[in-house]
Amino acid sequence: MSPALPSLILFARAPVLGTVKTRLAARLTEPGALALYRAFLDDASRAYGGSPVWTPVLAADPDPEDPALASLFPPPWRREAQGPGDLGQRLHAAFAREFLRGAPAAVAVGSDHPALSRAFLVEMLARLSRDAPASAIPADDGGYCAIAFSAAAPFREALRDVPWSTDSVLEITRERLAAEGVRLSLLPPAYDVDRPEDVDRLRRDLARRDPEEPDFPRATARALAELP
């Protein structure tokens, strides 16, 4: 029997008008913000769903059987509900579920990072098997765009009572792990697309990239081109 693969867990909300990318709506309108977010999901499904390195899992809010999510994330994606609680509780539940299923490691990534290269997530998992039980891609706002743990890592402690949506998220997570004797291996930082100014940054970023790259976010580039 072949060994179980690590899991890639994509955290995403159902693409419903007026409930996603609300801070972008003032600039893009609610339909524009929805179209852009749906493009993020389309690109994530394609970029992360076909990798032989991991099992792709959608952690959906609120319903994994939402018709739009079911259409965007067909097999090999496995769709699961995020469950209740703050982000730390939902992350903990997702990691615990994957480890109970036999995954030796798992990486959780948000759906707000359309320019994030798949290669960085592959490197996160490689570091878990090479030199650290935990790894992360820092975000510019003091949090992280992705975090990964081996099954033996103290992920419960790392995610407990973190002041989410503050600029101290990454530092507190690192301190919690250090208190357990675990080093958090950090990759180069990335960025969320949450605020109107992030849209301009995303445009500049994609303009510098090769559209022929396997994980180039083509749906996002099309959506940006169609926005006012």
Mean pLDDT over the full length of the chain: 95
Structure tokens at 37: 């977010």
pLDDT at 1: 52
Question: What's the Cα-to-Cα distance from 40 to each of 34, 99, 101, 206, 220, rounded to whole Å?
Answer: 10, 27, 28, 13, 6
Decide if 191 contacts 198 (C-beta within 8 A). yes
Decide if 135 contacts 127 (C-beta within 8 A). yes
Mean pLDDT value across residues 43-62: 95
pLDDT at 61: 96
Decide if 131 contacts 185 (C-beta within 8 A). yes
Mean pLDDT value across residues 11-38: 95
Q: Kindly tell me the sign of the dihedral angle through the C-alpha atoms of 57, 62, 66, 69.
A: negative
pLDDT digits (tens, 9 = 90+) for 114-165: 999 999 999 999 999 888 999 999 998 899 999 999 999 999 999 998 999 8
**Could you give the CA distance from residue 76 to residue 38 in angstroms, rounded to a whole number?**
19
pLDDT at 50: 83
**Could you give the CA distance from residue 19 to residue 73 in angstroms, rounded to a whole number?**
19
Residues in the chain: 228
Closest residue by Cα to residue 137 from 150, 122, 126, 124? 124
Whether residue 78 is contained in a domain is answered as: yes
The CB density around residue 227, as the number of other CB atoms within 10 Å, is 15
pLDDT at 219: 98
CATH of the domain at 186: 3.90.550.10
* Structural domain total, the chain: 1
Whether residue 191 is contained in a domain is answered as: yes
**Could you give the CA distance from residue 209 to residue 183 in angstroms, rounded to a whole number?**
32
The percentage of residues in the chain with a pLDDT greater than 70, rounded to a whole number, is 99
Whether residue 65 is contained in a domain is answered as: yes
**Could you give the CA distance from residue 204 to residue 87 in angstroms, rounded to a whole number?**
30
pLDDT at 130: 84
pLDDT at 28: 94
pLDDT tier at 2 (50, 70, 90 boundaries)?
low
pLDDT digits (tens, 9 = 90+) for 177-193: 999 999 999 999 999 99
Whether residue 12 is contained in a domain is answered as: yes
The percentage of residues in the chain with a pLDDT greater than 90, rounded to a whole number, is 91
pLDDT digits (tens, 9 = 90+) for 69-108: 999 999 999 999 998 999 999 999 999 999 999 999 999 9
pLDDT at 110 over 60: yes
Supply φ then ψ for residue 3, to 5 degrees: -65, 155
DSSP-assigned states of every residue in 15-56? --TTTSSGGGHHHH-HHHHHHHHHHHHHHHHHHHHT-TTSEE
Q: Kindly tell me the sign of the dihedral angle through the C-alpha atoms of 96, 102, 104, 108.
A: negative
Whether residue 147 is contained in a domain is answered as: yes
Domain of 146, in residue numbers: 7-226
pLDDT at 83: 85
Whether residue 59 is contained in a domain is answered as: yes
Whether residue 1 is contained in a domain is answered as: no
pLDDT at 202: 97
Whether residue 2 is contained in a domain is answered as: no
